[in-house]
Amino acid sequence: MEAPDAGLMGQSSRQLPSSPRTQSGKRPTAASLQRQREYAVWLQAQPQAGDASWATFMAERRVQKERVRLQQIGVKQRRERFRRRHGASPPPEAEQRQALELEFQAYRDARLKAAEAQGRRWLAHEPSLRMLFEAERRKQKERARLRKISDKRRVARHAAKLEQREAIDRQRLEKTAAEAASRQQARDAAAARRAERRAASRAARQWSTEGQCEGMTRASGGLVRCRVHRSSPYAVAAPLRRGERFCGHHHPDKYTGVRCAGIRKGGKGQCRVWSGCCYADAAPLRRGSPYCQHHRVRCVGLTRSGARCTVTSSSEHEHAQPLREGATHCAHHQPVQPPAPPAASAQEASPPPAAAAPTTPITQILPSAARLKLKQARCRHPSSLPPSRLSWRTTLVAYRHGFLSSNTQL
Ligand SMILES: [Zn+2]
Ligand SMILES: [Zn+2]
Ligand SMILES: [Zn+2]
């Protein structure tokens, strides 16, 4: 059968007098004729044992047509994507194919050259080269695709990390701000409390001159009244608390009773501490000592270990009594008195240290500093030392304690 002309097929085949008819005598449509022709071609291609029914042909045809339709849609979508991405239509397919061919030729030439250089001529098989080229191209495309994905993931990771860091920073800022706010709040509250307390105490402390000392301060030249009040917790306010008119500083009894027998340094005369004053320095005077706490006399005796005795005229023990009575030793360290002249010692009671001098070896009564000096002078037994070997300081100490008179030959 002659294949009808494509232009004639749509319209004129019906009018042709020799056109085929259906079994009922109707003229078939152009599409129906086309199907018939395709069926004939398909039948020839079918193997002998295969299913050659019309239904099978139609099913296969439908599948084929659907595949073509989907392919066309795919092409359309690809072009659309390209246009979206690059802002222009893709080059025509022929051009693409040509570019690909050029690429393959370049690839082939490079491979051939390399093979020639290595002397491996069997690699010049063209179909194999094409396959290799295509495989390589596929691989490259896949690699690019994967790289794109991993890039996208990396960017996402980076963004997430940034966001996380920002969130942490924000949290930290918020925390510090909250802490600062709470600190400020605490400070404000403390300041308010302080102000309140101050106001309360100002209201409570209504100063009254009743119970205030009537004395005048010396620093003001007798112009300003002493501010000691009976509400004061200090010992100096004790007379005011008893109902007297003056504090301990300004009490009229301050310079009454027994005066300390000590002499102040720098030629300032006798000590001005009296037993009548309220200070703790005067306590020894009140106990019967002739000296105040500053001018107390220390026993010049040495303990058995060689240290200086610590008993003073201010000590409250009974054995300090000799010191209070003008002696140089406490009761423990009283030198053994020579029994010979009882009458003479009674007469010369005023300088008792001079009398004690000859009986005690000088090194026993020396303070430890002086004994050290003797030691440094490499004296085997201090008592054996001739007086001329003693240093001026040792001599001075001995003299001060009354164990050398000014007549003693050194
Ligand atoms: Zn006063
Ligand atoms: Zn004194
Ligand atoms: Zn003593």
Q: Round to the nearest angstrom and report the end-to-end CA distance of the chain.
A: 170
**Residue type (1 letter), 222:** G
Task: State the Cα–Cα distance between residues 99 and 91, nearest whole angstrom.
Answer: 10
* pLDDT at res. 260: 92
How far away, in angstroms, is 199 Cα from ligand 1 center?
Answer: 28
pLDDT of residue 338: 62
370: phi then psi, degrees, rounded to nearest 5:
-70, -35
Alpha-carbon span 21 to 29, nearest angstrom: 10
Determine the pLDDT at residue 7: 44
Token pair 């086309």: residue: 34
Write down the pLDDT at residue 91: 87
Measured in angstroms, how far is the CA atom of residue 235 from the centroid of ligand 2? 21
**Nearest Cα residue to 299 out of 261, 325, 328:** 328
How far is the centre of ligand 1, averaged over its atoms, from the C-alpha of 266 (Å)? 29
Q: Is 22 exposed, middle or buried (0-12, 13-18, 19+ CB in 10 A)?
A: exposed
Q: What is the pLDDT of residue 147?
A: 97
> From the CA of 344, how far away is ligand 3's center (Å)?
25
Q: Which residue has the tokens 């093979």?
A: 115
Extract the residue ranges of the chain whose pLDDT is less than 70.
Answer: 1-19, 121-124, 207, 337-410
Point out the ligand nearest to the CA of residue 226.
1
Please state whether the predicted TM-score (pTM) of the whole model is above 0.75. Answer: no
- Residue 175 is predicted with a pLDDT of 97
Domain boundaries, the chain: 99-116+124-171, 211-249, 251-295, 297-334, 366-410
Residue 222 has a pLDDT of 86
pLDDT at 127: 84
Q: Give me the pLDDT at residue 390, please.
A: 57
pLDDT digits (tens, 9 = 90+) for 277-301: 989 899 999 888 889 999 999 999 9
Distances (CA, A) of 88 to 16, 77, 85: 48, 14, 8
Question: What is the model's pLDDT at position 380?
Answer: 44
To 5 degrees, how large is the angle CA 309–CA 313–CA 317?
A: 80
